[in-house]
Structure 1
Amino acid sequence: MTLRQFLLILLLTEITSADFSTSFKNFIISKYGQKMYEDLARNDLKDSGSYGGGDHDGNSKTSRRAVILVHGTTNNAGTFAGNKEKLIQNGWSEETVYGTTYGSGSAAVTPAPEVSMKCEFIQQVRNMIEVVAAFTQQKVDVIGYSLGSPIARKAILGGNCVDNKNIKLGSNLTSLVETYISVGGANKGSFLCILPITNACSINNGLFCHSSFLLDINKPKHYEGSNVYSIYGPSDDKVGLLNVCLSKNSRIDKADGEYTNAVGDHDAILRRTMDIQMAYLNAH
C-alpha cells in the first residue's frame, strides 16, 4: 500500500466516523429525504454531531436492539463517546449504537441558562427513534442524560408541542421502545431553577418544577417504553436531588426500577454508572 493510498483510507475513515454509516445515510435519504438526513446527521458539528448504522443495510433485524443516546444541555452526540465505546466493548456494535445532536451542541454558542426544551429538539429526537427503529426493523432502547431525559420522554409521549401547541407531534412511540433509561435526568426539574424565569427555568418549557412541559410529561405514567429505569445520585451538582416543589428531580413515577446512589457530580454519574446502564439494557 502506498503512502497516498494509506492517507486516503485514513481520510475516508475520519469522514465516516464524523457521520452516520453510508448505509444508514442512504436509508434515511431514500425513505425520509435529504433534509431528514441533514437534520439528524449534524455534519456542521463534525465528529461530535452523530454516529450509528455500521455495516447494517436496513434489510433485516440487527444482531441486538439498537441503543439511542440522547445528550443533555449544551452537549452533543460526542458527549457519549466514552459510553458508546464501552457499549461496543461489551457486546454492542457500530450498527447498534446511535446518537444525534439537538440544539447548537455547544455552551460557547448557547449558554446553558438560555437552553429550554424546544419543540424542534423534541421532534429531532422523535425522528431519530422512528428512523433507527425502521432501519434496524425492531424496537430500540433509549438512554436520556440530563436535559435529554425530559426531551426524550416528550419525544416518546408525543401529543402537542408545549411551546407551540399548534404543532402536533403525533401519537406516542411507546411501542417502539423496549427499555428507557434516565441518567441524571431532569425529569421533574432542576434545583437551580428556584424561580420560573425565562429560558432554562421557564414556566412554559423550562426546568422550573411546575413548568407546563414537566407537568405534561409527568402526568401520564410508564409510557417511555416497556421497561423504565432511572439512575441518579445525591451529589448531582446540576440537576440536584430535590427541587423547590420538594420532588426528586430525577425520579420517574411508576418506573420499573431506580438506582439512587450514583457516586459523583452530574458529569460523573454518566461515566460511572455504565455497568448499571448495561445491566438494565441486558435485563430485557
Structure 2
Amino acid sequence: MSWLGYPQVMLAAWCPAVTVGLWHLLRRLTVRLPARERFVLAVGTALTPLLAMAVPYLPHSPLRDALPWRAPIAWGISNGITNADPAQVLSAVGAQLMLAASIVPLVSLAVSFAAGAVHVVRTARTVTLLAPRQCGDVWIVDDLADGIGGDAGQAARNLASTVGLARPRIVLSATVAESAEASAIIRHERAHARARHPLWIFLATCALRSWWWIPGRKAILGETRLAAELWADQDARAADGAAAVARALCAQIDAHARPAGPDLALAGGGIGFLDPGVELAHRAQALADPPRVLRAWQSWTVRTLIVAAVGAAAVLL
C-alpha cells in the first residue's frame, strides 16, 4: 500500500485520474463558460499530466516533505523499490508493476507523439498533392473534383479546412470560395488559424492518447474540438451574423459528414468546418442562443485561474 504513493505511481495513475475526474466533476459549471475559456480549460486539462512529467525531480524539496504523499515534483519518476522480497509473489508482482509505472508512460508518450507526427506529415503531403494556389491568406484548390464522382466528389467540392501547426493555412475548394457562404466560412477558418487551434488540438490529442488506461479522457478531447468550433463560430457570427454562419454550417454538413474525400482530419493536421455527430447539435444550439461573452477582466481572471490550477496539479501530483 505504501508503494501507491511513490512518484511513478503518482504520475502514471493519480495525476491523470485526478485531473480527468475533476474535469468531469466540474462539467456542469464549465459548459456555461464562453467558448474561448472552455477551450483553454480543456487544453489545460489534457496537458496537465504531460506537464507533470516535465517537472524536475526534487526528492529533498521541503514542499515534497510537507505533503502527506510522495509528490513526484517529478521527472526522475523512480524511487526504486529495494525492499521487495522475490520469494513473495505479491512483492515480486508489485515490483514489476512499479517498473511498468516508470516505463509505460514514457513509452506511451513517445509512441503517441510519433503517431501524431506521422499524421501531420501525411496531411501536409495531401495538401501539397492538391496543388493549392495562394489568394491572400487563403489557399484555393482548383478542379479538385474532376474525375471524382459520388460522395467523394461532393466532399471534394466542399473542402474547407485549416491545416498546419506552426503556420496554419486555410484551404478551400474553388466551389466553397465562390459560394454565397464563403465570407462566414473564411472568417471561421481564420479564427482557427489565429488561435493556432490545430497545434493545441494536436498536443491535446497526443497527450490524452498516451494515457490510454485512464477512463473518461476521450470526453476531454471531444470538448477541446467542440470548444474550438464554437470559438470559430462565434468569431464568424460577430462579423457576419448568426444567420450567415448557420447557412454556411448547413452548406458544409453533407461533405464533412461523409468519410470520403481528402483526408484533412482534426487531430494533427487540420480543422474542418464541421466534425460530424453530436457536435452539430451543440453548434446549432449555440447559434440559436445569445452569444456568451465575458468582460475582459473576467475573461483574464478565468484564464489565470485555469493556468494556476494546471500548474498546481502538475507540481503537486
Q: TM-score range by the shorter chain?
A: under 0.3
Structure with larger RCO (C-alpha < 8 A, sep 6+): 2
Structure with bigger gyration radius: 2
When the two structures are superposed, what TM-score results if normalisation uses the length of structure 2? 0.24
Higher helix content, 1 or 2 = 2
Higher strand content, 1 or 2 = 1
